Chains A and B, each alone.
Chain A
Amino acid sequence: MCRAGVVLGLLVAAQAVAAQSAAAQEPSALPGVVQPAPALPEAARHLPRLEARLDSLLDVAAGLEARVEAERERYESSTRETLDAPVRRVAGGLGVLALPRDIETATALYETTWRQVFEPIFGAPPAALGEVQLGYYDHRGEWNPRIAEGNGMRYSVQVMNGLDDPRPQAVRAVMTALLREGPIAFYAWLGQAASIDDETDLAGFDPRSDLLGARRHLAATRSHTNVDCLDGDSTACAVSLGLRPEGWTLEEVARAWYDQETLREILTDRRWFRRADLGGQDRFEVGDASIDAAEYFTYRQRGLTVPEGASIDEADIVVLEGTEIFHDVAPASASTRMTLFTLAIELGGEGSVERWLELDPDVPLEEALEVVAGMPVDELAEEWRLRLGADTERPGGRLPVRATLGWVALLGVLSMTSTRWRLGR
């Protein structure tokens, strides 16, 4: 009704202006005689009719809305009747969610994934995995609007043309589900590894330990603690892995990783989008002092008061920005950290997975690792360092020289037995 009132008001005003304009243009019949005012009462006579016509439009709109709603309800009920809803099945201890047409394939995929990738390390699936929903949707089949919001994009495994091998997705889905069931500290520490979508050997998540890859990564990163770690210092190994040795603060850990210039370079690489947030400025004026834009952003993001003229170093920034940035900046990559976690599970023996999943959600990372491995973090780091050094195949090492030369000689001798007579062959 409000809209009708506004329209009506405009119509009345327009009609009044038009009437006044017409009256102004009309020559006076009797010069010097004042003409009567324009016929406003005439417009007022039309008002109820106009109002009724406008109100009738509202009725039409309401009717159309009702029809649309009815159509929507009819469509949804027909969808419910004619299209299959996703079904959930627990198979081999894994909770799987897929359309009925896909459920067999999905179940087989997740069971095979567990058997081939996880079982050698984790044993049988923990009970928690029976409660989760490991999704699977094949986009190549007929579209089913009931699969989920976003056309199935929220399913952890999606098969489509050009992405026909779902195994890497299934590995990621299972590991992500496991990490979500355990303490937050592990998810923050390892979650990045589970979410990496990369086909290269050194990225992406695979719980099968890649100690050689870890060693290569540590060696190629410009970090003091990485060098010390490969030289035999297990405390440096723990620090590189983003762990806090006893008596260390997080700032000290971050400060030990790189020299200040390198850490600034790394942070700058990760800050470009933040500079964009700050209008592309590199520095901000706070009082009389100029402060680094990223530093300013850090204060602002954490709700802290920017101290006038004060400056914090890069390590403080890393810690202030929270665990995600802290682990992202750490010189040991997520896949390298995964090798330590896998070792903790292995050394923890039977029940280590259950202990992991039963941990309090807020338990600190170091404590969580100790519970899983059943040993102090420094001993775990030392064992990891020893294995890291043992699993190395250099380009010149372990060459099968004897076997190759033996075969070459044998093949040479065999070739001597061939005949020179070729007639008819």
Chain B
Amino acid sequence: MTKQLLLLHWKAARWGLLPWVVAAFGVPLLIVGRLSVEGSLQSADLWQQMIPLSPVFPLLAVAAGSTIALTAWSWDHRQGHVYALALPVPRWRYSWTKFLAGLTLAAIPAVALGAGGLIAASMVELPELVQAYPGALAFRFYLATLAAYGVMFALAAGTMRTALIVLTVGLGAVLLGDPVVEFAARVIPALDGVRLTDVLLNVASQPASPFRVLTGNWLLFDV
């Protein structure tokens, strides 16, 4: 059953995953391309060229993980979970197998990133004290993809209503949180100066947070 579910998941996810795989492969090359345009890598501008692009990696990981998680359950949601009901296996085993299939698929964009990073690193002559980290970056990317996948998979495994509520609240907090808190501070002085996005970022970057991996050092080249 594992193989069938993996194939089923692959069929459902492949087109949605393709842009993220291409991007994961291409962004390291884009970084090197930008550096080449600006001149030699042996320049203090190295970081100023690279740092603005580094947040793209965690964003790609979240996008890839979410795509894999949502496509894992899209088939079931579309068919009213009839297929799962018809299977002679317990529900937990069905979910777990599906979950493991997703973990496997999550490696695809990470491998693409590692390959792109290796090629990019081979295209430039680095300063003496600067090194390329394509493998470490790909591993970090895989972990970040897993974190996003785990959260979205758990949400999608429940009802669509639950998933919608959680996602709406989460996105609302990120997009509208600051203006709402700023408005509320007029009534509640204790909220004055509080920025919800900073609070959320602080919580996300705590060592025990599932999103900690999204923060930190995402540079392809570093000292």
Chain A contact residues, CB within 8 Å of chain B: 112, 200-203, 213, 215-222, 226-227, 230, 333, 392-401, 403-405, 407-408, 410-412, 414-420, 422, 425
Contact = CB atoms under 8 A, between A and B. Distances in A.
Interface in B84-100: 84-85, 91-92, 94-96, 99
B44 A400 contact: no
Contact of B129 (A213, A230, A407): A230
Contact of B223 (A219, A333, A403): A219
B139 interface: yes
Interface string B102-135: 0100000000000000000000000111100101
Contact of B150 (A394, A395, A408, A417): A408
A415 B81 CA distance: 15
B142 to A, nearest CB: 10
Contacts of A395: 133, 136-137, 140, 217-220, 222
B91 A416 contact: yes
20 contacts: A200-B48, A213-B47, A217-B47, A220-B44, A220-B130, A222-B42, A222-B127, A395-B220, A396-B135, A396-B139, A399-B213, A400-B143, A400-B212, A403-B212, A404-B147, A407-B147, A407-B150, A416-B157, A418-B158, A422-B80
A404 B153 contact: no
Contacts of B149: 408
B209 interface: yes
Nearest to A407: B210
B60 to A, nearest CB: 15
A418 B76 CA distance: 13
Given A215-B223, A395-B133, A227 B128 contact: yes
Given A405-B146, A422-B159, A412 B96 contact: yes
Nearest to A203: B48
Given A399-B139, A400-B207, A420-B81, A393 B52 contact: no
A226 to B, nearest CB: 8
A416 B149 CA distance: 15
B150 A411 contact: yes
Q: Which 4 A-B pairs give the minimum distances between C-beta atoms?
A: A396-B136, A407-B210, A415-B157, A411-B150
Nearest to A262: B42
A220 B51 contact: no
A410 B150 CA distance: 9
